[in-house]
Structure 1
Amino acid sequence: MTQSIPTVPYSLDAEEGVIGSLLLDAQSDNAQSVMAFLKPESFHSSHCQAIFSVLKEMNIHRKTIDSLTVNDELENRGLLHLVGGFSYLAQIAKNTPSAANVVGYAHVVRDKATERFALRQANQITALFYERNGMSAAEKLDVAQRLITEATDYAQTGNRQGLRRIDEVADRWILAIEARCNDPEAHRGLSTGIPDLDKLLYPKFIVKGSLFVIGARPKMGKTTVMTEMALHMGDVAKLPVAIFSLEMSEEQIFERMVGQQAHVNTDMFYQGAKNQEDWKKVYAAVERMRNHPRIWLDDQPGMTLAHIQAECRKLKRSEGKIGMIGVDYLTLMTTDKADTNALAFGNITKALKNLAKELDTVVVLLTQLNRNLEERANKRPMPSDSRESGQIEQDCDYWLGIYKERVYDDHADETLTELILRLNRHGKTGTVYVDQRDVEIYPCDQQEAERRAGKQANRKPLKEVMGF
């Protein structure tokens, strides 16, 4: 019994239906939509691929599109005989039932193109595991995960990795600008949920594909800022969030979030609280988070970069998108072998930056700072203070330092905290003030906060204030 040979997934009827619809009515909203989301390589038939490429270019240059004008354009380019001549164009147009069905035809074409792309990715994965190329099994699995993610992205967006002609980039940019102008809220960068910091980041906010580093000495509130951002992403922006905690357990992270959501002091979870109103707030916060589970937590000991990459790719495939990935914190991660710790951690920051771009999200990375900064008169953190990794300053798109004078001076303002945006590759830098109480962050009047900060500084000797 002979087995039938599998055929390449494609539908010639759908491909010719798209071409015929565009020849009949290229200016309708549906036709323009199809021109935007299909690409020449979406077509399997070489005839249809060549014709659609010409149609797309004619549309960009606002030329009239019908069977005669497309025939002339193909003839001028020496392609007419390759696509079957004018008779083929006329036949396609005649056999198209209705130009109104162009979107339906286009979705069939796109689905078949996705299947072909997925098959190519699957063949690459199979070949990868057969090859003896010196890669470890873990490295091969990482490549395989990336190839699967590329196939998923292609299914959702039609975009593929690799070289693209600049006119294709221009088309995508124009579509992105139109979408952003029509619905700015849905297409802007990611906001932090901290009002005054968002004002500093306005209008781009945190651009997707970015590495956002938060650096501070212990007890400054790094984790609090990260969880505040995570809660905003999950609860307000309604986007999935993944948090990888190497310092705290999942329960400890959740406890912080409950405190932030319920606006209560987390000490009550250890010594009890007689105020029943606080407990009502806690139960309401827990119920809200349970009913809208948009945050995923992972506290696996000895966490590696490969584990974070694999889990995030899996989440992206299941949820469609990720609003934010949080990693707490860099120097607790298990590293691969390298000549120095700085090089090993530098490899991690590069990979996290690449992961942000790959998944079109923001990676928020917490990092401890060197103890040496405490020997300075001015102890406000800078990117060069990052422990074990001078590479961070090169790889990150944003670098936010956190400073609380209270950590060094028992008489200083108890809650006043400085969020110092030292690096922003997409906009302004500067300092904003917040009040930090327990695990909560509250906005404060910036002018009044400057006065409070100045009052603290005036208590110090002049040489300490000036930093010498």
Structure 2
Amino acid sequence: MTSDYLTPPHSLEAEQSVIGGLMLDGGQSERCQKVLSSLKAEAFFCRPHQVIYEELRALNQQQKPIDLLTVFDSLERKGISETIGGFAYLAELSRYTPSMANIVEYSKIVRDRAKRRYGIEKLNQMVSLMYANDGLSADDKLESVQTLFTQITDYSKVGARRGLRTFGDVFGDWAEMVEKRFTGDQSAIGLTSGIPSLDAMLEPKRIVKGSLFVVGARPKMGKTTLYLNMAINCALNENLPALAFSLEMPDIQLVERMITQLSGVASSHFYASGFDQMKFGLASAKAGELIQNGNLYIDDTPGLSLAHIVAECRRIKRERGVVGMVLVDYLTLMKAEKADRNDLAYGEITKGLKNLAKELDCVVVLLTQLNRQLENRSDKRPQPSDSRDTGQIEQDCDYWLGIYREGAYDEHADQRATELLLRLNRHGASGVVYTEQRNGAIYDCDQATAKRNVETREAQPTKKKGGF
């Protein structure tokens, strides 16, 4: 017989020192506030310690003093003081704390042991899942394993558990995020698009993380141009991984368009007949910025499935710890599961991409082709209901942006003028943003002047040409 018994990783001494240090310090110092805002009660292994620490946080949120007497009085009024060892145990915690100056380091020990316990818990779930005869296929089981790995990664970063949580727990997370916003922490706010006028419309929340951002347009309107602009902006300006999945364009062509857009050098200079050493050097230097930055990833696998995109995104999340944007060009070229109707099949993809955005706490940008019928209208500006083969998009997306170029229908109109129509924004205002497309890139412009030009043009009779 062996007496060996594997107990879950924990440090009772560190837990006691955190609680004792908080009571000795009074909870008002910067080090105490750092511990109370970052360490959650669930990180404690000992149940009485969880109860005591939760009471400390409650007193802090109520802006009440924290010491031996106030904590005991609060627990006594709730009738739970004896469950944690009474006044004697609280006094013992205070008496034997090595140093209240080191409570931040003690809290790191508590957090480290909690991470290890959580990892063990999830790994055990993975083993049980693979052994279980529950009718699931191996692929389904591996998909679940991937999800569990993502949960481990999330917990190691922010300590967030899935499942039901009290309002107080969630409020604590919210308060911590608000504090980060006030201190200028960019991780606590949304992402930008790289187009100043559109970003101004999206302020103050910007493009909220966990959102599905749908871009809809007819062919040749500039969907891919906007897609590349957002990917480059995420990689360089937001300094976050941007994962570009292209079903329409090979990766080499995509890279060429990115270099053109970033450098302003026309792609004709990349061919022998138009070669220019100076311009090629400028383009190469700009490409070098993206290479050195290392945040831009491209996948041009034909007929991409939702499962492939999810697996690749989770892989990057594990490797990098964070994902900024996932960009998919475009919906109806994706491999859909069998369904009675196309709208149902593609609806499953949009729901899956929305769930992916929430799971990875990133923004998913999805391009979609619009129905030809919109060209029969007098006003051909797109609406969310014009999305081809899916009515689910309006329900799943948080943002819906249409792209419109009058020059596609009127040969006398400015061929560069482009309208970005933010039709749906669940987090703020919607409206029209005026831009210009030049040499394969999209640029901001003076909004008042552009609006006057549109109004003047629409007040005059025009000669139309055929649509697409």
**TM-score when normalising by structure 2:** 0.95
Q: Tell me, yes or no, if the aligned pair for 1:413 and 1:452 is still in contact at 8 Å.
A: no
Deviation at 1:186, TM superposition (A): 5.1
Q: In 1, Cα distance between the equivalents of 2:440 and 2:17?
A: 59
Task: Give the match's secondary structure for 2:274.
Answer: coil
Instruction: Tell me the amino acid that sits aligned with residue 436 of structure 1.
Output: Q
Task: Give the match's secondary structure for 2:419.
Answer: strand
Aligned to 2:93: 92
Residue correspondence of structure 1 range 399-414 to structure 2 within 5 A: 399-414=400-415
Aligned to 1:334: 335
Instruction: Tell me the amino acid that sits aligned with residue 398 of structure 1.
Output: Y
Deviation per CA, 1:110-129: give whole Å up to 9, x if none. Answer: 11111111111112222222
Residue correspondence of structure 1 range 18-417 to structure 2 within 5 A: 18-25=18-25, 26-183=27-184, 185=186, 187-270=188-271, 272-417=273-418
**TM-score when normalising by structure 1:** 0.95
Question: Unmatched 5+ residue regions in structure 1?
Answer: none
Q: In 1, Cα distance between the equivalents of 2:59 and 2:314?
A: 38
Task: Give the match's secondary structure for 2:267.
Answer: coil
Q: In 2, Cα distance between the equivalents of 1:271 and 1:398?
A: 43
Aligned to 1:443: 444
Runs of 4+ aligned structure 1 residues displaced above 4 Å come to none
Instruction: Tell me the amino acid that sits aligned with residue 12 of structure 1.
Output: L
Deviation per CA, 1:1-48: give whole Å up to 9, x if none. Answer: 848332211111111111111121122211111111122211111221
Instruction: Give aligned pairs, total.
Output: 463
Question: Unmatched 5+ residue regions in structure 2?
Answer: none
Question: Over aligned residue pairs, what C-alpha RMSD do you find?
Answer: 1.8
Instruction: Tell me the amino acid that sits aligned with residue 279 of structure 2.
Output: D
Q: In 1, Cα distance between the equivalents of 2:73 and 2:453?
A: 75
Deviation at 1:247, TM superposition (A): 0.9
Instruction: Tell me the amino acid that sits aligned with residue 235 of structure 1.
Output: L
Deviation per CA, 1:146-203: give whole Å up to 9, x if none. Answer: 1111111111101111111111122222221121112165533111111111122122
Deviation at 1:274, TM superposition (A): 4.2
Q: In 1, Cα distance between the equivalents of 2:411 and 2:252?
A: 30
Work out whether 1:14 is the aligned partner of 2:14: yes
Task: Give the match's secondary structure for 2:359.
Answer: helix
> Structure 1 residues 118-127 or 270-279, which shifts more?
270-279
Task: Give the match's secondary structure for 1:421.
Answer: strand
Instruction: Tell me the amino acid that sits aligned with residue 212 of structure 1.
Output: F
Deviation at 1:248, TM superposition (A): 1.0
Aligned to 2:425: 424
Q: In 2, Cα distance between the equivalents of 1:389 and 1:3?
A: 62
Q: Tell me, yes or no, if the aligned pair for 2:244 and 2:326 is still in contact at 8 Å.
A: yes
Q: In 2, Cα distance between the equivalents of 1:65 and 1:187?
A: 29
> Structure 1 residues 142-151 or 216-225, which shifts more?
142-151
Change (3 A) 1:3 1:221: farther
Q: In 2, Cα distance between the equivalents of 1:321 and 1:184?
A: 15
Deviation at 1:389, TM superposition (A): 0.4
* Aligned residues with identical type, % of pairs: 50
Deviation at 1:257, TM superposition (A): 0.7
Q: Tell me, yes or no, if the aligned pair for 1:370 and 1:386 is still in contact at 8 Å.
A: yes
Q: In 2, Cα distance between the equivalents of 1:345 and 1:186?
A: 32
Instruction: Tell me the amino acid that sits aligned with residue 13 of structure 1.
Output: E
Work out whether 1:457 is the aligned partner of 2:451: no
Instruction: Tell me the amino acid that sits aligned with residue 384 of structure 1.
Output: S
Deviation at 1:219, TM superposition (A): 0.6
Q: In 2, Cα distance between the equivalents of 1:381 and 1:320?
A: 37
